[in-house]
């Protein structure tokens, strides 16, 4: 037998039957073995299997490559001159094959030992490195087996622990020498990174540092975010994520989600199969047309799904591997991006009509085909004309949820229910005026009307009359009905035309003023003073994001209302002092709702989203605010308790799903809150054997 036979190749006794996450398994890459499309786990590989694979590769190349012809010294392979070129080539190719396996036996280098012995003579013979020559001569297949150890383990974000690897783990997984001698705890790692983050003066720098950490050490990223949620939430999400999306092409390092573009039409299913995970439970998808209040950012809107799903994990406990961020790239109408050399998306005008909807139809069908009907698809930052159509079209056939329409509505309704404990009265006794009649405004209005209908048993049409909306053309009234978009028509009431917000406030005299316009500084001093003139405690919600687009600041709301406003905002504001009293503004952040809502859908196995599930989430969140919060001026509970709040919301949502017959995980757990907590992902480091 020639020397190309792998002398120390052994079976993989520690590969079969591994129980993740105790053994650090890497995610499988497409390989030359088995069906890469179905991502089946690679079978136990024996020395005979490996030798056969190398032999097959040698045979396949012999027909086309002169390197695989034997020398003229005879068939024994031991002649003079060039000798057995095939033997040398097998050894050289074996050295390029990376076979990784589990500790304690170092089978990571099954092919490496014999290759290492001949590497010097091979380098001398060919004048370069083994991998270099393989790349120059023939294409190589990036195949790998998937048990992480050594250098590979340190580059695997799902299992890397940095300096937290114990002495025993360093020996068992061949890390000795690859790390400095110090062994530190995860808590000390968190302390160090927070110290480093606080040195940055630019929020975008903090965002980039956090994204780098997520790509380097997943568990540490989530531990950091959970332990410092109030400080880091504005970093990984609003308002900083808005700037990140605007500059996404410039700061892009490596993909964090899946991109489906018009180029993929007809093969979207194949694109989805390229994602390494199969057990996906939550998808957040955007087409980038209406990113926050920043407009059309095209493919660079990916920052939103990535940020949302990091909160699904940190705040709601959904496993990171069960989350999939997706951007549908159909082009952009943003001329600045189309002319930006760093733009990462399609350089064309945004597709519309049939072309757009055919791609979305293919995408939705592919998601259901590959992940099943119990995967939650969250639509995020679609423009109004598509957001309502997509939600209406797929809500009866898919498990879909629009956070801009339904999530925002749910958290704002919770804030209103909570504010009633401060201002008094029932929901039906108040009058509501919205500045902004897009998906957020109409979504909130509809949920308010639904809750009033639920409480009073009145028809929904009657309850809508308590809610008024004002768009860019003025108050939505009956005389405008023929020219209104379909989603605005239910809010057209009998009233004379009114064009300005101040006139609408003075005419309707609302007790609650809600801004969803996306236009900053529209709640002027005159508007706030008018609200305060006929309300002892005017309720003012300035919800537009990011901070620069907020209708008014917390300081303006408190100062112009003489400290009497019950205020909440979409973006965070610092506490405000007025007449010696500190007011802590509440943040009406969707992160209060969607992580717990998603967890409730997952643990119940719900197959559809029902409006009563949204009402249940709102009522549960409203119950979490305490008298201590109210005394500080906030109508929302602190984010420090968000994991507990999310578990309670999940339990309420799941209970409603069971009640409505939409749940499939049977039998129903006896204590849903404890069950939700038991299902939540915790980012504490695991010990590796």
Q: Name the token pair of 511.
A: 């007790």
Phi-psi region of 394 (alpha: psi -120 to 50; beta: other; left: phi over 0): alpha
Looking up tokens 């398994």, which residue turns up? 25
User: Does residue 273 have a known ligand-binding role?
Assistant: no
Q: Is the peptide bond before 168 cis (omega within 30 degrees of 0)?
A: no
Both 507 and 622 in one domain: the answer is yes
Same domain for 389 and 275, yes or no, is yes
Domain of residue 496 covers 405-676
Of 578, 543, 687, give the one whose Cα is nearest residue 173: 687
Residue 161: the pLDDT is 96
Q: Are residues 620 and 496 in the same domain?
A: yes
- The candidate with the shortest Cα–Cα distance to 220, out of 189, 197, 194, is 189
In a domain, 634, yes or no: yes
Q: In the structure encoding, which two tokens stand for residue 566, read together? A: 């019950």
**CB count in 10 Å sphere of residue 17:** 8
Residue-level pLDDT at 144: 60
The contacts of residue 160 (CB under 8 Å, 6+ apart) are 153, 154, 216, 217, 218
- Is residue 241 a contact partner of residue 207, using CB atoms and an 8 Å limit? yes
Tell me what pLDDT residue 293 has. 79
The number of beta carbons lying within 10 Å of the beta carbon of residue 377 is: 23
Asked if residue 326 and residue 293 are part of one domain, the reply reads yes
Position 56 scores a pLDDT of 52
Q: State how far the Cα of 439 lies from the Cα of 444, in Å rounded to an integer.
A: 8
Is 389 part of any known ligand binding site? Answer: no
Structure tokens at 173: 């997984």
Q: What is the pLDDT of residues 537-588, one digit of tens each?
A: 999 999 998 888 999 999 999 999 999 999 999 988 999 999 999 999 999 9
**pTM, full prediction:** 0.80
Say yes or no: 410 and 542 in one domain.
yes
Point out the domain boundary residue: 361, 381, 398: 398
In a domain, 624, yes or no: yes
Which letter does DSSP use for residue 290 in this model? S
DSSP assignments along 397-466, one per residue: TS-EEEIIIIIHHHHHHHHHHHHHHHH-S-GGGS-EEEE--SHHHHHHHHHHHHHHHHHH---HHHHGGG
Q: Do 613 and 490 share a domain, yes or no?
A: yes
The token pair that represents 366 in the structure block: 């592919």
> In the β-sheet with 539-542, what is the strand arrangement from edge to edge?
474-475, 467-471, 432-435, 512-515, 539-542, 566-569, 586-587
Residue where a domain terminates, one of 398, 417, 439: 398
Identify the pLDDT of residue 38. Answer: 40
Q: Are residues 356 and 477 in the same domain?
A: no
pLDDT of residue 149: 86
Residue 136 pLDDT: 57
Residue 59 in domain: no
Rounded-to-integer distance, Cα 80 and Cα 72, Å: 8
- Nearest to residue 435, comparing CAs of 522, 537, 495? 522
Q: Do 360 and 410 fall into the same domain?
A: no
Q: What is the CATH number of the domain that holds 452?
A: 3.40.50.720
Cα separations in angstroms, 442 against 67, 203, 492, 654: 70, 32, 12, 26
Structure confidence at residue 55 (pLDDT): 54
What confidence score (pLDDT) does residue 95 get? 46
Between the two ends of the chain, the Cα-to-Cα distance in Å is 37
417 and 361 within one domain: no
In a domain, 136, yes or no: no
- Is 545 within any annotated ligand binding site? yes
Cβ pair 258, 275 in contact under 8 A: yes
35 lies in some domain: no
Quick one: CA torsion of 206, 208, 209, 212, rounded to 10 degrees? 160
**Catalytic residue positions?**
237, 308
Written as six digits, the tokens of 495 are: 């009233």
Residue 582, in any domain of the structure: yes
Domain of residue 315, CATH code = 3.40.50.10380
**Are 412 and 479 in a shared domain?**
yes
The pLDDT score that the predictor gives to residue 302 is 96
In a domain, 184, yes or no: no
Domain membership of residue 459 (yes or no) is yes
Inter-residue contact 446 to 391 (CB < 8 Å): no
- Residue 49 annotated as lining a ligand binding site: no
Residues 449 and 590 in one domain: yes
> Can you say whether residue 540 is alpha, beta or left, with left for phi > 0 and alpha for psi between -120 and 50 degrees?
beta
Residues of the chain where predicted confidence (pLDDT) is lower than 50: 1-21, 28-45, 47, 58, 60-85, 87, 90-92, 94-135
Which neighbouring-strand residues pair with 284?
A: 325, 378
Task: Say if residue 100 carries a ligand binding annotation.
Answer: no
Q: In the numeric block, which tokens belong to residue 412?
A: 């704002």
* Domain end point (choices 398, 416, 444): 398
Ligand-binding annotation for 339, yes or no, is: no
CA 653 from centroid of its chain's CA atoms: 21
**Domain count of the fold of the chain:** 2
Do 542 and 417 lie in a common domain?
A: yes
């Amino acid at each position: 037998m020639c020397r190309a036979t792998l002398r120390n190749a052994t079976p993989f006794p520690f590969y079969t039957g591994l129980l993740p996450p105790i053994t650090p398994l890497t995610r499988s890459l497409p390989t030359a073995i088995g069906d890469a499309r179905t991502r089946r786990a690679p079978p136990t590989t024996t020395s005979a299997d490996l030798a056969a694979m190398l032999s097959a590769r040698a045979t396949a190349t012999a027909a086309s490559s002169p390197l695989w012809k034997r020398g003229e010294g005879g068939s024994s392979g031991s002649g003079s001159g060039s000798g057995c070129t095939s033997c040398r080539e097998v050894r050289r190719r074996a050295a390029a094959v990376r076979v990784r396996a589990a500790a304690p036996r170092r089978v990571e280098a099954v092919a490496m030992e014999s290759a290492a012995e001949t590497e010097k003579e091979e380098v001398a013979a060919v004048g370069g490195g083994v991998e270099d020559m393989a790349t120059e001569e023939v294409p190589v297949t990036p195949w790998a087996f998937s048990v992480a150890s050594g250098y590979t383990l340190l580059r695997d974000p799902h299992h890397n622990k940095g300096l937290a690897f114990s002495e025993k783990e360093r020996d068992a997984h061949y890390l000795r020498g690859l790390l400095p001698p110090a062994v530190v705890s995860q808590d000390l790692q968190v302390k160090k990174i927070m110290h480093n983050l606080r040195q940055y003066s630019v929020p975008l720098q903090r965002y980039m540092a956090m994204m780098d950490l997520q790509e380097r050490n997943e568990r540490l990223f989530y531990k950091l975010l959970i332990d410092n949620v109030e400080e880091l939430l504005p970093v990984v999400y609003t308002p900083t994520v808005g700037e990140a999306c605007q500059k996404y092409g410039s700061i892009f390092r490596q993909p964090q989600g899946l991109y489906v573009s018009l180029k993929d039409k007809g093969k979207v299913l194949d694109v989805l199969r390229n994602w390494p995970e199969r057990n996906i439970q939550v998808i957040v998808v955007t087409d980038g047309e209406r990113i926050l209040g920043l407009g059309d950012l095209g493919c660079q809107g990916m920052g939103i799904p990535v940020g949302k799903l990091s909160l699904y994990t940190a705040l709601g406990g959904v496993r990171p591997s069960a989350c999939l961020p997706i951007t549908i790239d159909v082009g952009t109408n943003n001329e600045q991006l189309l002319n930006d050399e760093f733009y990462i998306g399609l350089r064309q005008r945004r597709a519309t009509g049939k072309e757009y909807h055919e791609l979305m139809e293919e995408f939705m069908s592919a998601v259901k085909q590959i992940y099943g009907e119990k995967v939650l698809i969250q639509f995020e930052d679609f423009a109004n004309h598509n957001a309502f159509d997509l939600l209406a079209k797929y809500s009866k056939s898919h498990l879909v949820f629009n956070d801009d329409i339904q999530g925002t509505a749910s958290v704002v309704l919770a804030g209103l229910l909570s504010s009633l404990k401060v201002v008094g009265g029932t929901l039906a006794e108040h009058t509501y005026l919205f500045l902004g009649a897009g998906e957020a405004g109409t979504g909130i209005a509809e949920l308010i009307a639904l809750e009033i209908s639920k409480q009073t048993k009145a028809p929904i049409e009657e309850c809508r009359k308590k809610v008024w909306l004002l768009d860019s053309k003025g108050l939505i009234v009956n005389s405008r009905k023929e020219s209104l978009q379909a989603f605005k028509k239910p809010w057209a009431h009998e009233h004379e035309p009114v064009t300005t917000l101040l006139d609408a406030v003075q005419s309707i005299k609302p007790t609650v003023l809600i801004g969803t316009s996306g236009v900053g500084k529209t709640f002027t001093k005159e508007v706030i003073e008018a609200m305060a003139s006929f309300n002892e405690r005017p309720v003012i919600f300035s919800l537009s994001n990011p901070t620069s687009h907020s209708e008014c600041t917390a300081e303006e709301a408190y100062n112009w209302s003489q400290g009497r406003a019950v205020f909440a905002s979409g973006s965070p504001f610092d506490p405000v002092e007025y007449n010696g009293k500190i007011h802590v503004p509440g943040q009406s952040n969707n992160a209060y709702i969607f992580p717990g809502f998603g967890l409730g859908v997952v643990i119940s196995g719900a197959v559809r989203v029902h409006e009563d599930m949204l009402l249940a989430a709102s009522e549960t969140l409203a119950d979490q605010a305490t008298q201590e919060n109210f005394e500080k001026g906030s109508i929302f509970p602190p984010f420090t308790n968000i994991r507990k709040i999310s578990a309670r919301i999940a339990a309420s949502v799941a209970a409603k799903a069971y009640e409505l017959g939409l749940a499939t995980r049977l039998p129903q757990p006896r204590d849903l809150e404890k069950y939700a907590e038991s299902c939540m992902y915790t980012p504490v480091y695991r010990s590796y054997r």
